Chain A
């Protein structure tokens, strides 16, 4: 019974919790309800994970109910290995950020918790939608709570950052809406076809669209995703949004929202428009590599700790985009696992920066120094997160990065090893900016007197960080738990693209 509607449950449980908590006045009760419902979602996700059939490459747990019948729009949900991982990540990170923010959010606690839960609804909805219209609704629905979260509970330039985030992202989304409608309309012009936004059907139809039209649709979709990822040069909303957002906002923004862009590329841009993908492949790969190197170099010279981590996200997602457009099983698997990894490592970094901010109310790097002596536990967790981020073998980041680089090196779609070689330089640069930052913040002596009496982590903070570390190590040492789930879906995608390349346009699904 549960498994028949588990996706709907996953999506709307947080909403129920969000509405419920509005009725209570006591802040602790409100926070507890929020945590309870998001924990329930985590439990559902675990159930989902365990009941997922690892061999199938079709969508699983499919729910389909007609909605707007004369436009063929239905309430259509389903997941495959890729979305399974991302949905699980979302539930986990939401719970983590709620627990971590227990003491950082002082004002309007009800609204904050409501918005976080509302955000979770949107995020899981995006990953499980198989109907383009439904997908669009969830996609846009995420913008509103995020806008409020940044704009109300953020830092000094929060209003500017929130507006920039909203408008920038919405601009892309509107173009995507045009493309969705166009696509549905095109389906209607086919003999015996009708307007539809059903993804499974569009998988069969879209690759047959004449190239001149298909290119525009591809661009519309990809632009929207490229803004979200973000791909250079559309990335400038990210440093502001990440820096000004409160800790929970940054964790979810970096941990999940950015992945929607890359997920969109995998779920829509590539399989719907393969021929256009091939045309734009070199461009996207180059932009990805610029992102890797540029993101790292700009990260290096930042003076604000959070901005540094924000720019590092640009660099990390650059790897993911490269992996996607290399279109080999290894590289896309690497991208998928790296999406999950980034959620953990960068999410953990934002948690730690948030914890530092809670204590000192500053994010300036030169306000710190010598912290390893004062808060050794925090310093240790920070070291682990940092090492995961720079791809130390044995931790999660290495698995993703290595698969991406290896896959890109041997990719026939990219055709040139130079892409992978340029991207590997990012490995050096990542160490540079991270270690230098760690040196200035945690090592050296405690020069600033305000740093001398900082309190180390409390039990709640340690609990949250331990959960993150657990996954960082688990994925690094035994990634097969996760890689095996997504492999069939990735294989299907690569197969589809390979056939499209040689002109065979049947979809594997």
Chain B
């Protein structure tokens, strides 16, 4: 059935074409639901097809689950031949299911969420286009097609962040939602710059962009720690820091919250931002042979995780908290990749997609119910008004905190145990982050749902979301609980099915790693208990600080004082970037490049030549006095000179 893989990618394009070209008319005539259903149906078909391919794959023997389906020849000239062709293997099918499945749920949710907007058809066009690009990214069998998807999702991110382009949005250097979209695109492009250079290096060394031409047999030519490979992997990783919002290119993600909440859920939590993690997973062989880069990846991942978590502690906008949480959790995934726990990283990618999307969708329901209010200081007590949202949000919060037996526990635990085996320091960072995660997410949960309502109960009629929005919440809630059960470690008696499924994909990489990190079961138990205790502790602390004894939080804030300001201003990184890069660039371009060089120097010389010619003319003109006698004088002088010359010769 994998032969039909191209259809999986093409279905969303039908949605783009129908909604893009006819959408405006369709929405006017048949209403938003119609347009929304078209948009969701295409993704639904893709998901069903993906499911079929997956079930087929389960029936195949483990060693022959990798297929390549060539669609057509895209670019072929000189030494370069690139096809649009898709690789269907265990890794891509996992990503495929996540992308189409979660997208489908979010599409359904959006039908309800975007109710009343005059551009619903536009929204679904962009969403479908996004899914198309993302599918190309995860299914590509070569880096160039992956790059097409890579930039394509960046484009859709830009379009969707600035979807309400006439709305204002506050941020450093940002006034409109479109500015936030621009920031996302440009910061991503900086990462793409590095990605491109990495791709060029790949081509020069391997003569092709196809995975099949690069990974197998690589050890014959490149040993572990090879400089070229290190550069390639490093450059690709820098590209990943842009797409997946790690240090130093994460700054666009919090501002991306300007977009509608389904966008934040789909793109900036579950799918697009995970592209970098997927890319490393796909290129695992290259990374396994570059221990230096792996170390950098792990360190960047860990640092980003704790750094972002620290900022999430103090934010007051419900979506911003979740944004920093996403950055932090992505850090975990990169940390996993960095220590060689490739399938653990993908596992966390999957569970994170479930609970983070759920958190965002729940937040969306809250925002909608409170008429676009996003400040958690103005919420509270919603548990009585929005019971379904409350319950599912609780499930997601427990999942992200890593409370067993919910999904997040298993994935996070697998990562942490691998990290522990590799480096104590990184593990410490990981567990502290876990503690912070539990704390900030429950701070959010409590301030939003528990306690007494701080909003105007009498004027705002707050109720739970409509059914089209609640259904995805339930599905994701269930997935947040059971999603981790495919990866129960052997230490707890599970089958580690997820890891086993992906093993054939990652084996070539794992085999090439300088050292393998894994822990004994006994150590693992201790680690698990430790992290659960920390999580529970974080939750307890949050309850204490925000529910039972709210005075504590005020006291802590005044005690910490300046550091609090630093945190809430996101360490002033945006301001620093603006001052060092943006402002000087614009200033220099305006003053020196344009006015200085172009207008004054170059054009000045060009016009100067003209002026010079006119000057010569003006002087020369004075000879023409109009007086006949002057002319005769000229004759006479001329004659004298000529005769003199002839005589003297």
* Co-complex (A, B): yes
Supposing A403-B75, A406-B200, A424-B193 touch, asked if A372 and B165 sit within 8 A by C-beta, the answer is yes
Q: Does the CB pair A428–B189 fall under 8 Å?
A: yes
Minimum CB distance partner of A171 in chain B = B609
Q: Does the CB pair B75–A410 fall under 8 Å?
A: no
Q: Does the CB pair A329–B176 fall under 8 Å?
A: no
Report B431 CB to chain A, min CB distance, Å. 38
Q: Which residues of B contact A406 (CB under 8 A)?
A: 80, 199-200, 203
Report A422 CB to chain B, min CB distance, Å. 11
Report A166 CB to chain B, min CB distance, Å. 12
Q: Does the CB pair A435–B158 fall under 8 Å?
A: yes
Q: CB of B586 within 8 A of chain A? A: yes
Report B119 CB to chain A, min CB distance, Å. 9
Q: CB of B545 within 8 A of chain A? A: no
Minimum CB distance partner of B594 in chain A = A298
Cα–Cα distance between A236 and B610 once the two chains are bound (Å): 14
Q: Does the CB pair A301–B182 fall under 8 Å?
A: no
Q: Which residues of A contact B603 (CB under 8 A)?
A: 236
Q: Which residues of B contact A174 (CB under 8 A)?
A: none
Q: CB of A300 within 8 A of chain B? A: yes
How does the 8 Å CB contact mask read for A393-408 relative to B, with 1 for contact and 0 for none?
Answer: 1100011001101110
Binds B, one of A16-24, A270-278, A436-444: A436-444
Q: CB of A417 within 8 A of chain B? A: yes
Q: Which residues of A contact B590 (CB under 8 A)?
A: 301
Q: CB of B178 within 8 A of chain A? A: yes
Minimum CB distance partner of B190 in chain A = A428
Q: Does the CB pair B189–A431 fall under 8 Å?
A: yes
Q: Does the CB pair B182–A436 fall under 8 Å?
A: yes
Report A312 CB to chain B, min CB distance, Å. 14
CB-contacts of B573-596 with A (<8 A)? 585-586, 588-590, 593-594
Q: CB of A355 within 8 A of chain B? A: no
Cα–Cα distance between A410 and B73 once the two chains are bound (Å): 22
Contact size range, B? 35 or more
Q: Does the CB pair A444–B200 fall under 8 Å?
A: no
Report B199 CB to chain A, min CB distance, Å. 8
CB-contacts of A132-159 with B (<8 A)? none
Q: Does the CB pair A236–B598 fall under 8 Å?
A: yes
Minimum CB distance partner of B164 in chain A = A443
Among A393, A405, A446, point to the contact of B147 (Cβ < 8 A): A393
Q: Which residues of B contact A56 (CB under 8 A)?
A: none
Binds B, one of A38-46, A203-211, A241-249, A478-486: A478-486
Q: Which residues of B contact A403 (CB under 8 A)?
A: 75, 77, 80
Report A366 CB to chain B, min CB distance, Å. 14
Q: CB of A328 within 8 A of chain B? A: yes
Q: CB of A421 within 8 A of chain B? A: yes
Q: CB of A252 within 8 A of chain B? A: no
Cα–Cα distance between A237 and B200 once the two chains are bound (Å): 35
How does the 8 Å CB contact mask read for A281-312 relative to B, with 1 for contact and 0 for none?
Answer: 00000000000001001101110000000000
Binds A, one of B148-156, B334-342, B384-392: B148-156
Q: CB of A164 within 8 A of chain B? A: yes
How does the 8 Å CB contact mask read for B118-152 relative to A, with 1 for contact and 0 for none?
Answer: 00000000000000000000000000100110111
Report A456 CB to chain B, min CB distance, Å. 11
Q: Does the CB pair B200–A417 fall under 8 Å?
A: yes
Cα–Cα distance between A301 and B189 once the two chains are bound (Å): 20
Cα–Cα distance between A300 and B594 once the two chains are bound (Å): 10
CB-contacts of B191-207 with A (<8 A)? 192-193, 196-197, 199-201, 203-204
Report B248 CB to chain A, min CB distance, Å. 15
Report A404 CB to chain B, min CB distance, Å. 11
Q: Which residues of A contact B196 (CB under 8 A)?
A: 402, 405, 424, 427
Supposing A298-B593, A409-B200, A410-B204 touch, asked if A435 and B79 sit within 8 A by C-beta, the answer is no
Cα–Cα distance between A394 and B150 once the two chains are bound (Å): 11
Q: Does the CB pair B76–A431 fall under 8 Å?
A: no
How does the 8 Å CB contact mask read for B158-186 relative to A, with 1 for contact and 0 for none?
Answer: 10001001100000000010110010011
Report A151 CB to chain B, min CB distance, Å. 16
Q: CB of B30 within 8 A of chain A? A: no
Q: Does the CB pair B586–A444 fall under 8 Å?
A: no
Q: CB of A233 within 8 A of chain B? A: yes
Q: Which residues of B contact A394 (CB under 8 A)?
A: 148, 152
Q: CB of B606 within 8 A of chain A? A: yes
Contact size range, A? 35 or more
Q: CB of B645 within 8 A of chain A? A: no
Minimum CB distance partner of B598 in chain A = A298
Q: Which residues of B contact A439 (CB under 8 A)?
A: 162, 176, 178-179, 182
Supposing A236-B602, A392-B151 touch, asked if A409 and B204 sit within 8 A by C-beta, the answer is yes
Report B23 CB to chain A, min CB distance, Å. 11
Q: Which residues of B contact A370 (CB under 8 A)?
A: 166
Minimum CB distance partner of B199 in chain A = A406
Among A399, A410, A436, A445, point to the contact of B200 (Cβ < 8 A): A410
Q: Which residues of B contact A487 (CB under 8 A)?
A: 77-78
Report B622 CB to chain A, min CB distance, Å. 25
CB-contacts of A344-384 with B (<8 A)? 370, 372-373, 376
Q: Which residues of A contact B73 (CB under 8 A)?
A: 480
Q: Which residues of A contact B147 (CB under 8 A)?
A: 393
Q: Does the CB pair A478–B72 fall under 8 Å?
A: yes
Q: Which residues of B contact A417 (CB under 8 A)?
A: 200
Q: Does the CB pair A443–B589 fall under 8 Å?
A: no
Q: Does the CB pair A407–B78 fall under 8 Å?
A: yes
Q: Does the CB pair B166–A443 fall under 8 Å?
A: yes
Cα–Cα distance between A302 and B589 once the two chains are bound (Å): 10
Q: Which residues of B contact A478 (CB under 8 A)?
A: 72, 74
Q: Does the CB pair B166–A164 fall under 8 Å?
A: no
Q: Does the CB pair A393–B77 fall under 8 Å?
A: no
Supposing A297-B589, A427-B196, A435-B158 touch, asked if A445 and B75 sit within 8 A by C-beta, the answer is no
Cα–Cα distance between A236 and B599 once the two chains are bound (Å): 8
Q: Does the CB pair A405–B155 fall under 8 Å?
A: no
CB-contacts of B406-437 with A (<8 A)? none
Cα–Cα distance between A436 and B175 once the two chains are bound (Å): 13
How does the 8 Å CB contact mask read for B320-344 relative to A, with 1 for contact and 0 for none?
Answer: 0000000000000000000000000
Q: Does the CB pair B606–A443 fall under 8 Å?
A: no
Cα–Cα distance between A469 and B145 once the two chains are bound (Å): 22
Minimum CB distance partner of A433 in chain B = B589
Supposing A409-B204, A444-B166 touch, asked if A424 and B77 sit within 8 A by C-beta, the answer is no
Q: Which residues of A contact B586 (CB under 8 A)?
A: 300-301
Cα–Cα distance between A421 and B165 once the two chains are bound (Å): 34
Among B148, B189, B588, B597, point to the contact of A393 (Cβ < 8 A): B148
Report A248 CB to chain B, min CB distance, Å. 26
Q: CB of A333 within 8 A of chain B? A: yes
Q: CB of A219 within 8 A of chain B? A: no
CB-contacts of B585-633 with A (<8 A)? 585-586, 588-590, 593-594, 597-598, 602-603, 606
CB-contacts of B52-89 with A (<8 A)? 72-80
Q: Which residues of B contact A120 (CB under 8 A)?
A: none
Given contacts A333-B78, A410-B200, A477-B74, 13 further A-B contacts (CB under 8 A): A168-B606, A297-B589, A329-B78, A392-B151, A409-B197, A410-B203, A424-B196, A425-B193, A428-B189, A435-B185, A439-B182, A478-B74, A487-B78
Q: Which 6 A-B pairs have the closest CB atoms?
A: A329-B78, A393-B148, A443-B178, A443-B165, A409-B200, A297-B589
List 11 A-B residue pairs with CB atoms under 8 Å apart, sorted by A's residue number.
A236-B603, A300-B589, A329-B77, A372-B165, A394-B152, A421-B197, A427-B193, A428-B192, A444-B166, A446-B166, A480-B74
